[in-house]
Amino acid sequence: DAGVIQSPRHEVTEMGQEVTLRCKPISGHNSLFWYRQTMMRGLELLIYFNNNVPIDDSGMPEDRFSAKMPNASFSTLKIQPSEPRDSAVYFCASSLEHRDYGYTFGSGTRLTVV
């Protein structure tokens, strides 16, 4: 298996632009998580899906952030409009519900908003 695949690896955008981050989970995994990592706040859970349904989005910072999972093999995290404080590394992770081997993380997307 290729693991969790995220794209792009790096994204530099201007303030006010729309940014879309993409994730392909491991085939067969039915839970998907979006995390944001910064030096100040560490790993923050933004939202997670189970069987393509959003279960907990309490970590989504504000209405500028939205996430979708149209099918079991694809998810997007969108920021519109982007702001400099959104600069961070965004990770996607997937897991198989009720299995104790934790999450498998992707390599992340480093977002820089200038």
Partner 1 sequence: GENVEQHPSTLSVQEGDSAVIKCTYSDSASNYFPWYKQELGKGPQLIIDIRSNVGEKKDQRIAVTLNKTAKHFSLHITETQPEDSAVYFCAARYDGNEKLTFGTGTRLTIIP
51 CB contacts (<8 Å, ≥6 apart)? 30, 72
72 touches partner 1 by CB under 8 A: no
Among 46, 95, 111, 113, binds partner 1 (CB under 8 A): 95
Closest to partner 1 by CB, 18 or 44: 44
Structure tokens at 94: 């997937």
Q: Quick one: which segment of 17-25, 68-76, 78-86, 87-95 binds partner 1 (CB under 8 A)?
A: 87-95
Other Cβ atoms within 10 Å of 51 Cβ, number? 11
60 touches partner 1 by CB under 8 A: no
Structure tokens at 3: 């693991």
